[in-house]
Amino acid sequence: MDVNAFLDGFGLVTEPQNLLYCLIGVLIGMLIGVLPGLGPAATIAILLPITYSIDPVSAIIMLAGIYYGAQYGGTITSVLLRLPGEASSVVTVFDGFALAKQGRAGTALGIAAIGSFIGATVSILGLTLVAPLIAGWALSFGDPEYAALALLGVLLVATIGNGNKLKAMLAAAFGLLLATIGRDSFSGAERFTFGSLQLTEGIDFVVVAMGLFGVGEILYNLEERHGKPHVPAAVANIWPSRKDLKQSSGAIGRGSLIGFVLGVLPGGGAVMSSLAAYATEKRIAKNPERFGRGAIEGVAAPETANNAAATSSFIPLLTLGIPANASMAMLFGALLILGISPGPQLVEERPDLFWGVINSMYIGNLILLVLSIPLVGIFVRILRVRPAILAPITALITILGVYTINNSTFDIFVMIVFGLIGYLMKKVGFEPGPMVLAFVLGSIVEDGVRRSMLIFDGDPTGFFTRPISGTILAAFVLVALWPAAKALLARRNAATVAAPAERDHADTPSR
Amino acid sequence: MTILIGYVPTPVGEAALEAGLAEAAARGDDVVIVNSPRRGATVDADLVDEAAAAKLVARAEAAGVSARVDHTTHGADVVETFDALAAETGARLIVIGLRRRSPVGKALLGSDAQRILLDAGVPVLAVKPTA
Amino acid sequence: MSDERTPTPEPGQDILAEIQAEVAHDLEEDRPPAGGPAYQVAGALVALVVGIGGAVLSYGYGLGSLRQPGPGLWPFVVSIAIALMAAALLVVGRSLTDSEKFTRSSVLPAVGLVTFIVLALLMPVIGFELPSLLLCVVWLRFLGGESWRSTIITSVVTVAAFYFLFLYGLRIPLPHLF
């Protein structure tokens, strides 16, 4: 590791301007984490145009702050209102709200803040040490490896997310197809342009992302789906007692590790790791029946893990150029806008950016720890602002923002079209996430495959005979077939327990 | 007959509740305590939770009045909620609390109490907090 | 949690799946009714059309050979994959419950979409201020059910804030009337 570059990175982060953007990013992140509706990916998408007008490093620092800040904000509503602000805080609801009902909301929030900070810091340390090594190793990757890796990334994101796997893969394939619109970089032939001059350059990633995530979610939220208003729980004594800390120390330690490891995996990320950490704690607990009734570990583990994962999911992006989830795909897009193609060369070519972003996370998490607790009251107050008032503001930010990219109304219309597609996808049960991710990676996969075919002289088995790409593709096949294998296994299991299960169904009133 | 009492967990709401319960006890009326949150809000500080609602009902019973708490949401105009409830329960009286508002505050935010006073279809008893 | 009585055949066997089911069940409560098979079939059919159409078009761009891939080969492969998966979805996906029914409140997003289009059409002609104001008023009063008073105040403040933010704060030249 280049210690000088690392220290320079710190120097860069502590510049007042960057500190300010870090603070803004973290605050926005917490805010949208608290507010139901827009997720971090949508928020980053909506704010992407800002990267055109401010300094690249500051922009990425801010957008990164939004992502990990949101992980914390989601906790607050999970605990106080039984209303997960973010998907990664859904399991926190079980024990967090139970604690709040016992009048220990403050304890739950405090332990979540401490766990989040420890998990994130452990993860950044891991990131600091591991990322340069992976980048160095990945420098030897050729086109076949990249094609295989990008394909694996797309597949993992599609299959690990929640929801139907087939639909997610379909959405991903759609993204790959979308990426081919425009002039083919090899032959110069125009594809799927339908004679439109504006489409020859291909569709701008930012416009697609703002449409699918931004406009799509805004429209989706317009539909009246708000439930009953909630009564805010009172928050008293934030600081967890020594006993609470001791009780959750194991959970925080394991959560950090689980989060770090799962965060690195494409598709893993915060949601998956919070589930896994909660499950682990429940499994090894002496009396697992406490879980769901206010076990402090049930808050500590998932909250630690989701922040650790949010941090470590930067590793594949910064070292391989493969975004691990939808939010990382947005950051990938932001980097592309700035003319930086993320990959193993990043640490050598742009050490300022590489270390600037990583080190900003140390500072950002410190800010989160310091701010989150005192601001809880303010965030609860912000929840009183009706979503109806915020909706037109986000809508205007989105439309005016997308216009400023190229000063083009054509972009607004493209965005609206993708907004409609995103909305309809959600209604019919397709997640737009895999589609955006595949769209980002589409040209990497295609170019990689085509250059590889030239290298292999037209022999596709070449992918399997190279050790690294072979391994990656073997993993690909495993992941692709896993759901089918699991379904088959489950069916066999179900056959053996069918009799008692049937009786159980009989006395369950159908909803 | 029935009395509607507009209730929020503040001194103003308390005053309305006191007066409404006294009125109901004197005339042998039933009481519907209206605690109506704004529709579409994620969090409403004026909303009372189940435990607090149960306490309100207990208080009414201690005064010898049978009561229930209604949480119907209201949109931009709270008068509609009161009118609908009054029609539904056949209420003869609405009891609400009043507080002093500066003219500027009234112009900017409007006054739910004033709208109920002027627009409600049944007689309205307006109460001021004692303190 | 309401799922406490759920029998666990082999404790600890797959707690993760169990929790996932619990979470899904929890989120289920707030969701509008599922759309049913018609929605699933429609979704799969659209995907099938995209797949087949993409395959036909990319075939026209020239597939080339494996040694010399033409511009159409990759989109052709992807389109075929889409078509195959869509066909599979048509068969196995009918009973999925992840869609959402279009209800009367689905008119709201439709109106929202129209205001987006109107804004995009009017902005180059008369600047962004009045169309933005219009969008705010429609969203607050008619889509959000706000009172006129709150609508007017919020709209004017919002548009004014955007005016100063974009034109003076960020110095981005939006088309403007004033």
Rg of chain A over Cα atoms, rounded to whole angstroms, equals 23
Pick from C25, C98, C148 the residue to mutate for testing the A interface (most A CBs within 10 Å): C98
Is pLDDT of A500 > 70? no
CB contact under 8 A, C145 and B76: yes
- Tell me the residues of B at the C interface, defined by beta carbons under 8 Å apart: 39-40, 75-77, 108-110
CB contact under 8 A, B42 and A83: yes
Domain span at residue A332? 3-455
- From residue A299, how far is each of A96, A122, B107 by CA, in Å? 6, 18, 46
- Amino acid A226: pLDDT: 59
Nearest to A51 by CA among A66, A36, A39, A37: A66
Average pLDDT, chain C: 83
Q: Would you place residue C14 in the very low, low, confident or very high pLDDT band (cuts 50, 70, 90)?
A: low
Q: Specify if A140 maps to a domain.
A: yes
Q: Specify if A107 maps to a domain.
A: yes
Average pLDDT, chain A: 84
Q: Would the CA dihedral through A234, A239, A240, A241 be positive or negative? A: negative
pLDDT tens per residue across span A376-413 = 878 878 888 888 888 999 999 999 989 988 888 899 99
pTM assigned to the model: 0.85
- Amino acid A506: pLDDT: 39
Tens-of-pLDDT digits for all 131 residues of chain B?
Answer: 889 998 888 888 888 888 889 988 888 888 998 888 877 777 777 788 888 888 888 988 888 888 888 888 877 778 888 888 888 888 899 998 888 777 776 665 667 788 888 888 899 998 888 75
pLDDT tens per residue across span A116-148 = 999 999 999 999 999 888 888 888 888 888 888
- Amino acid C9: pLDDT: 40
- Between positions 51 and 90 of C, the ones with CB within 8 A of A are 54, 57-58, 61-62, 65-75, 78-79, 81-82, 85-86, 88-89
Decide which of B51 and A280 is more confident. A280
Decide which of B104 and A495 is more confident. B104
- Amino acid B49: pLDDT: 80
- Shortest distance between the Cα of C90 and any Cα of chain B, in A, equals 37
A383 reaches B (C-beta below 8 A): yes
* Cα–Cα distance, A229 to A231 (Å, whole number): 7
**Residue A377 neighbours by CB under 8 Å, 6+ apart:** A235
CB contact under 8 A, C139 and A219: no
Domain span at residue B24? 2-127
For residues A219-236, b (16+ Cβ closer than 10 Å) or e, as one string? Answer: bbbbbbebeebbbbbebe
Pick from B35, B36, B39, B43 the residue to mutate for testing the A interface (most A CBs within 10 Å): B43
Would you state the structure tokens that stand for residue A78, as one six-digit string? Answer: 């999970």
Is pLDDT of A106 > 80? yes
Residues of B in contact with A36 (CB under 8 A): 42
Is pLDDT of A352 > 60? yes
DSSP A431-486: -HHHHHHHHHHHHHHHHHHHHHHHHTTT-TTHHHHSHHHHHHHHHHHHHHHHHHHH
Q: Would you place residue C52 in the very low, low, confident or very high pLDDT band (cuts 50, 70, 90)?
A: very high
Provide mean pLDDT across the span A317-330.
87
Provide mean pLDDT across the span A284-291.
85
Pick from B42, B44, B46, B48 the residue to mutate for testing the A interface (most A CBs within 10 Å): B42
Is pLDDT of A503 > 50? no
Percent of chain A residues past pLDDT 70, beyond the cut = 93
H/E stretch holding A206: helix A205-209
- Shortest distance between the Cα of A370 and any Cα of chain C, in A, equals 29
- From residue A189, how far is each of A180, A185, A202, C62, C153 by CA, in Å? 11, 8, 12, 10, 53
- Taking the CB of residue C169, how many other CB atoms lie within 10 A of it? 11
- Tell me the residues of B at the A interface, defined by beta carbons under 8 Å apart: 37-45, 47-49, 71, 73
- Taking the CB of residue B49, how many other CB atoms lie within 10 A of it? 12
State the total domains in chain B: 1
- From residue A14, how far is each of A56, A364, A457, B83 by CA, in Å? 16, 11, 51, 60
Residues of A in contact with C102 (CB under 8 A): 427
Q: Specify if A461 maps to a domain.
A: no
Q: Would you place residue A150 in the very low, low, confident or very high pLDDT band (cuts 50, 70, 90)?
A: confident
Q: In this complex, which chains have at least 3 CB pairs below 8 Å with chain C? A: A, B
- Amino acid A228: pLDDT: 67
Pick from B104, B109, B111, B119 the residue to mutate for testing the C interface (most C CBs within 10 Å): B109
CB contact under 8 A, B76 and C147: yes
Percent of chain A residues past pLDDT 90, beyond the cut = 23
Least confident of A22-36, A335-349, A482-496, C111-125: A482-496
| Interface A-C: count of C-beta contacts within 8 A | 218
A386 reaches B (C-beta below 8 A): yes
- Amino acid A490: pLDDT: 73
| Interface B-C: count of C-beta contacts within 8 A | 14
Q: Would you give the DSSP letter of residue C165?
A: I
Q: What is the ipTM of this complex?
A: 0.87
Phi and psi, residue A296, nearest 5°: -65, -30
CB contact under 8 A, B77 and C145: no
Q: Would you place residue A24 in the very low, low, confident or very high pLDDT band (cuts 50, 70, 90)?
A: very high
- Shortest distance between the Cα of C111 and any Cα of chain B, in A, equals 18
Per DSSP, the three-state class of A195 is coil
Phi and psi, residue A358, nearest 5°: -60, -45
CB contact under 8 A, B76 and C153: no
* Cα–Cα distance, A207 to A219 (Å, whole number): 16
Here the CATH number for the domain that contains residue B120 is: 3.40.50.620
Minimum-distance CB partner of A387 among B40, B49, B73: B40
Provide mean pLDDT across the span A312-316.
90
Provide mean pLDDT across the span A95-118.
88
Nearest to A303 by CA among A74, A16, A40, A21: A74
- Amino acid C30: pLDDT: 61
State the total domains in chain A: 1
CB contact under 8 A, B41 and A83: no
